[in-house]
Structure 1
Amino acid sequence: MERLPKWADVALVPLISLLLAAIIAALVILAIGQDPWEALTVMVQGSVMNAYGWGYTLYYASSFMFTGLAVTVAFHASLFNIGGEGQAQLGGLGVALACLFIPWPHWTLALLGAATAAALFGAAWAAIPAYLQARRGSHIVITTIMFNYIAAAVLIFLLVDVLRPDGQMDPATARFPEAAQLPTLNEIPGFNLIFTSNVPANVTLFIALGMAVVVWLLLWRTRLGYAIRAFGKSEAAARYAGISPFAIIMVAMLISGGLAGMMAINNVMGEAERLLQNSASGAGFIGIAVALMGRNHPVGVVLAALLFGFLFQGGAELGLWTKIPIEMRTVVQGLVILFTGALDVMVRMLLTWIFNLFRAGRAVKGAA
């Protein structure tokens, strides 16, 4: 049996998976007595048909790009980093410390310092599971999941007992100084012609897109990227070629954790302008679905992040303007993950069978 053409594997398989997820979601909406067409109309109009909706869609997508790229780098080393949520939360801690305790003269310098701190804190949190995998054989999936809960507990302790200002009730830091607040798209010359009202999307979007380019260059244009991918394909062959498994596991997870940590500059520094208890907001877990749907390629990750940004904003609009519960977006996300991840092989096998039928038909005609 011949394999699928490259274009079909890259574009057609995800498209059919999305279509199947949409059909099942429509049936679920019908089952609860609502109109699927109305739901789709509200989601599209509220997320991509106006500048306000795009502002929120791009804001969510920025976070998902970072966590999706984090999963992608680890995946190419045959490591499944489930700890993006905890690494993003610790990245938020790094952002808060950099913004609150360093007197930055301008937001550009504050952004550079906060991004560095976020990456360092996220990488440090990923380094422990990486070391346990490389030296002790502890499975990276189990340890990164456990570290999500530890990160949440550490953050709660720090916000309640250490970083919370006197007299403040909610577990959060003080607001960042004005010099450490990022401009939103409606405050950037040129973009303010499109985004005429206040939106949460900010300059972090451009950093996320830049990191997608950096990850592509790293994985496919450097010796380190080649070593990461070679190790991910075959550890035995990589060992034979002189590639150190310990070095690759540590480096891949450090980069992955750093990318996940950098997500915090979007919502902690760019939107909330202070560190809150649940700063990651589930983006670490959504990043897994984004990476899977994006075929663990930076271009695919960017496109998948935009799709999930649309689902998040569109789901919020459903909760506002229809009787469909906002939790429906979670159902849709789950269906997308199901068909692009768990049932991906089924879709690929079906398409391969169809393509082979066409090939056989052409061969018979050619022989005749």
Structure 2
Amino acid sequence: MSAPFGQLPRWVDYGLLPFINLVVAFLVSGLVVLFIGASPLEAINYMVTGALGSGEGLGFTLYYATSFIFTGLSVAVAFHCGLFNIGGEGQVYVGGLGVALVALALDRIMPWYVTAPLAAAAGFAFGAAWALVPAWLQAKRGSHIVITTIMFNFIAASLMVYLLVNVMKQPGSMSPQTRLFESGALLPRLGFLFSPLGLDLGTAPLNVSFFLALASGFLVWVLVWRTRFGYEIRTIGANPTAAAYAGIRYGRTVVITMLISGGLAGLMALNVLLGDHGKLQIEFPSGAGFVGIAVALMGRSHPVGIVLAAILFGILYQGGAELAFWVPNITREMIVLIQGLVILFAGALEYMFRPALVRLFAPRGAAVLRPA
């Protein structure tokens, strides 16, 4: 029987439903942990304590969350225009190229507060440029954005391997990476903000790009909900035919939206390259472009929800590493499985509980639609 769909109160749609999906994901994960002979309660304790129980754990959690905020915002902007940008991984990769080029050029002659804004601009520009061709093909030729963006992920990976092996590799090094950046390109870490609270971040690479991520979330909110162009984005995402009748230019809006989306993904490289690694190396995105899809889904494509979902995935990453270390039965692959279950219930099975919630919370007299 087809499931009913209808309007839910905002607190249910944006709060209760994601919470239920998250609880079910962890319950299923607990059953898997129990099946392999470990204690689910012990696993949760290690995960939460490892992610939030110390200054260093919290620092790593927020560091991972910073990357996921950028990629989640990237996916969300495209979502609002009815576009499924799954090319964030490639856009982060190429954005990293722009960040590294600025860092290599200025790190020995400029302080970080001069280098960082220029590197951020270059990361945004390079990420946007990598999204341009898929955007143009969608707008002008009808090529599906999912296909073109995922193809561009592979092209970006191949391009970066070539550049790091044959062009940008440090002379005399066997590793496919650039030279280490000097202090003029390294972002300050935020340990000094937490020390008055009695928290020692230790080796955690949490840095000032965390504030850039939060500022980007605010700017995305302003763009999408407080500007004329944001209204055009949401109109096309809701009904392209109605948008065309209203005089909204589809091609222009799609291209600009994808440029913004790609640029936001490119900004993620600032956190990893200038805040942690201090060099450009192969596979530095580490899947963050794909995690951004789950973050955007769980956060309902709203900046506040994205920040909260990014912190959740930061907890999963940092807490999962601690869990795999302290509980031998739970391998790193098991942690990936738990993360996958959260993604599954937040994304693919997001509508599993919606019909029941519609029956409980939909306004009386509201129309309930059933798909054909």
TM-score bracket, shorter-length normalisation: over 0.9
Match of 1:162 in 2: 167
Relative to structure 1, is the Cα distance of residues 256 and 169 closer, same or farther in structure 2, using a 3 angstrom cutoff?
same
Q: Which residue of 1 aligns with 2:211?
A: 206
Asked if 1:87 is matched to 2:91, the reply is yes
1:340 aligns with 2:346: yes
Task: Write the letter of the residue equivalent to 1:55.
Answer: G
Do structure 1's residue 269 and structure 2's residue 274 form an aligned pair?
yes
1:149-201 CA distances to partner (integer Å, 9 max, x unpaired)? 00000000000000001110110000111111111111558668533523111
**Cα distance in 2 between the residues matched to 1:246 and 1:180:** 38
How far residue 284 of structure 1 moved from its aligned partner, in angstroms, is 0.0
Could you say if the C-alpha distance between residues 184 and 192 of structure 1 is closer, same or farther in structure 2, counting changes exceeding 3 Å? farther
> Contact 2:59–2:201 at 8 Å: present in 1 too?
no
Please tell me whether residue 331 in structure 1 is matched to residue 337 in structure 2. Answer: yes
Matched residue, 2:312:
307
Kindly report the root-mean-square deviation, in angstroms, between the aligned alpha carbons of the 2 structures: 1.7
321-330 vs 195-204, which deviates more? 195-204
Q: Aligned ranges for residues 249-268 of structure 1 at < 5 Å?
A: 249-268=254-273
CA distance in 2, matches of 1:104, 1:336: 45
Q: Deviations over 1:320-360 (max 9, x none)?
A: 1111102222111111111111111111112223346x979
TM-score calculated relative to the size of structure 2: 0.93
Superposed CA deviations along residues 55-83 of structure 1, whole A, max 9, x for unmatched, are 10000000000000000000000000000
Matched-pair identity in %? 52
In structure 1, the partner of 2:368 is none
Instruction: Name structure 1 gaps, 5 residues minimum.
Output: 361-368
Deviates more, 1:104-113 or 1:262-271: 104-113
Residue of structure 2 aligned with 1:119, choices 119, 124, 142: 124
Letter in 2 for 1:178: S
**CA, structure 1 residues 36+249, in 2 after alignment: closer, same or farther (shift >3 Å)?**
same
The Cα shift of 1:7 comes to 1.1
Going from structure 1 to structure 2, the CA distance change for 1:239 and 1:326 (only over 3 Å counts) comes to same
Aligned residue number for residue 247 of structure 1: 252
Q: Which residue of 2 aligns with 1:148?
A: 153
- The answer on whether the counterparts of 1:58 and 1:201 sit within 8 Å (CA) in structure 2 is yes
Instruction: Pick from 55, 60, 65 the counterpart of residue 64 of structure 2.
Output: 60
Distance verdict in 2 for CA 1:74–1:340, change over 3 Å? same
CA distance in 2 between partners of 1:28 and 1:317 (Å): 18
Q: Distance in 2 between matches of 1:329 and 1:305?
A: 17
Distance 1:238 1:160, change over 3 A: same
Give the gaps of 5 or more residues in structure 2: 366-372
Match of 1:225 among 230, 238, 245: 230
Distance in 2 of aligned mates of 1:4 and 1:236:
25
Q: Which amino acid aligns with 1:353?
A: R
TM-score by length of 1: 0.94
The separation in 2 between residues aligned to 1:169 and 1:101, in whole angstroms, is 22
Contact 1:175 1:274 in 2 (8 A): yes
